[in-house]
Amino acid sequence: MATTYLTKTFGNAGTRTKYTISVWVKRSKVGATQCIFSAGTGANNSMTITFNGNDTLYWNSYSNNGSNYDYFLDTTRKFRDTSAWYHIVCAFDSTQSTASNRMKIYINGVQETSFATETYPGSYSDYAFNNILHEIGQDVGAGSRFFDGSMSHFYGIDGTVYTPTSFGEVDSTSGIWKAKSSASVTYGNNGFFLKFANSGAMGTDSSGKSNNFTVNGTLTQNIDTPDNNFATMNPLDNYWQGGTFSNGN
């Protein structure tokens, strides 16, 4: 996606205490801060799901109180495989009585439990989501930190918390976690489903809610998908150091 990103501002608040984000990503570059998804009004009021510069994955919210993160999960695990698709699910439910149940991150169907930073939201708290600017592939607070790679099967769920099995499943032959062609989910007012791969305009919502996103820049539609993984150039082994990789390597 390089310096391309998608934007959408919703017209109503929706349900801000419960939401689920599910997306498949394939990285083209490591060692750089790259935002997958963000929502907010600026640097002091935003939430973001981002690959950190050290290749961990963090999910946090910084509000206009000007001093503290409202919640922050940063994995100890690093994500440096540029040949593989990662399925990321972030499930938020601040109505849970147990703090650690209010935010859950799953990678390829398995819940992450080891974090370098672990701060959970308050009970029944609502933060930057729904009736504000949403950006895919860029940090709304920084106005940069573009995601460099490929995305597919991007779900935004308003008001319902789902586990990874709603969006993916284990292949009975290979034992590999794979994407479902379509999920049986309730989207809510502000829900959306962007396929990206092999069908329709890149920002077109396939959920039936007509929550289309605006593409800023040029998105290239690839045949490299979670269920049809293509070999790509390795950015970690670039003999021609002046060379530039593009189009998902």
Task: Report pLDDT for 78.
Answer: 97
State both tokens at 165.
Answer: 């099995």
Task: Give the contacts of 241 (CB within 8 A, at least 6 positions apart).
Answer: none
Does residue 110 carry a pLDDT above 90?
Answer: yes
Task: Report pLDDT for 113.
Answer: 97
Task: Give the position of tokens 């206009």.
Answer: 64
pTM greater than the 0.85 cutoff: yes
CB distance 249 to 200 below 8 Å: no
**Alpha-carbon distances, residue 205 vs 41, 52, 153, 180, 187 (angstroms):** 23, 28, 11, 17, 11
CB distance 194 to 136 below 8 Å: yes
For 41-97, the pLDDT digits (tens) are 877 778 899 999 999 999 998 876 555 788 999 999 999 999 999 999 999 999 999
Task: Report pLDDT for 200.
Answer: 58
Average pLDDT over residues 157-174: 94
Across the chain, mean pLDDT equals: 88
Does residue 199 carry a pLDDT above 70?
Answer: no
Nearest in space to 16 (alpha carbons), one of 137, 161, 135, 153: 161
Does residue 135 carry a pLDDT above 80?
Answer: yes
